[in-house]
Structure 1
Amino acid sequence: MWSYVFKRLLLMIPTLLGVLLVTFVVIQFVPGGPVDQYLAEARAGLGHGAEGGGSAYRGAQGVDPKRLEQIKALYGFDKPAHERFWQMLAQFARFDLGQSFFQNKPVAQLIWEKLPVSMSLGLWTFVISYAVAVPLGVAKAVRAGSRFDVVTSLIVLVAYAIPGFVLGVALLVIFGGQLQWFPLRGLVSDHWEELSWGARIVDYLWHITLPVLSMVLGSFAVTTMLTKNALLEEIRKQYVLVARAKGLSERRVLWKHVFRNALIPIVTGFPAAFIGAFFTGSLLIETLFSLDGLGLLSYESVIRRDYPVVMGTLYLFTLIGLVTKLVSDLCYVWVDPRVKFD
Structure 2
Amino acid sequence: MWSYVLRRLLLMVPTLLGVLALTFAVIQFVPGGPVEQMVAQLEGRQGGGETAARATGYRGRQGVEPAQLEEIRKLYGFDKPPLERFWQMLKSFARFDLGQSFHHHQDVWSLVRQKLPVSISLGLWTFVLSYLISVPLGIAKAVRAGSRFDAVSSLLVLAGYAIPGFVLGVALLVLFGGGSLLAWFPLRGLTSANWDELSVGAKVVDYLWHITLPVTASVLGSFAVITMLTKNTFLEEIGKQYVITARAKGLDERRVLWRHVLRNASIPLITGFPAAFIGAFFTGSLLIETLFSLDGLGLLGYEAVMRRDYPVVLGTLYLFTLIGLVTRLIGDLCYVWVDPRVRFD
- What is residue 31 of structure 1 aligned with on the other side? 31
The answer to whether the aligner puts 1:98 opposite 2:99 as a matched pair is yes
- Per-residue deviation, 1:250: 1.2
TM-score, structure 2 as length reference: 0.94
CA shift digits 1:2-57 (9 cap, x unpaired)? 1111111111111101110111111111111111111122223599xxxxxxxxxx
Q: Distance in 1 between matches of 2:43 and 2:175?
A: 44
Q: Distance in 2 between matches of 1:253 and 1:201?
A: 40
The answer to whether the aligner puts 1:249 opposite 2:238 as a matched pair is no
The answer to whether the aligner puts 1:221 opposite 2:224 as a matched pair is yes
Q: Identity percentage over the alignment?
A: 76
- What is residue 341 of structure 1 aligned with on the other side? 344
2:5 maps to amino acid: V
Q: Distance in 2 between matches of 1:256 and 1:149?
A: 23
Q: 1:251-270, aligned counterparts within 5 Å?
A: 251-270=254-273
Q: Distance in 2 between matches of 1:211 and 1:271?
A: 23
| SS of corresponding position for 2:185 | coil
- What is residue 183 of structure 1 aligned with on the other side? 186
Q: Distance in 2 between matches of 1:6 and 1:87?
A: 27
- What is residue 52 of structure 1 aligned with on the other side? none
Aligned 8 A contact 2:12 2:325 in 1: yes
Deviates more, 1:170-179 or 1:225-234: 170-179
Q: Distance in 2 between matches of 1:44 and 1:151?
A: 61
How many equivalent residue pairs? Answer: 330
Q: Distance in 1 between matches of 2:3 and 2:26?
A: 35
Q: Distance in 1 between matches of 2:75 and 2:223?
A: 47
- What is residue 131 of structure 1 aligned with on the other side? 132
The answer to whether the aligner puts 1:327 opposite 2:317 as a matched pair is no
Aligned 8 A contact 2:40 2:46 in 1: no
- What is residue 87 of structure 2 aligned with on the other side? 86
- Per-residue deviation, 1:166: 0.3
CA shift digits 1:180-233 (9 cap, x unpaired)? 111101110111011111111111100000000000111111000000000001
| SS of corresponding position for 1:44 | coil
- What is residue 10 of structure 1 aligned with on the other side? 10
In structure 1, stretches of 5+ residues that fail to align are 48-59
CA shift digits 1:95-145 (9 cap, x unpaired)? 000000111000000000000000000000100111000000000000000
Q: Distance in 2 between matches of 1:235 and 1:294?
A: 42
1:11 maps to amino acid: L
Which structure carries more helix by proportion? 1
In structure 2, stretches of 5+ residues that fail to align are 48-60
1:37 maps to amino acid: Q
Deviates more, 1:173-182 or 1:96-105: 173-182
2:37 maps to amino acid: Q
- What is residue 119 of structure 1 aligned with on the other side? 120
Q: Distance in 2 between matches of 1:148 and 1:197?
A: 41
Q: Residues 145 and 198 of structure 1: is their aligned pair in 2 closer, same or farther, counting only changes over 3 Å? A: same
Matching residue within 261, 265, 278 for 2:281? 278
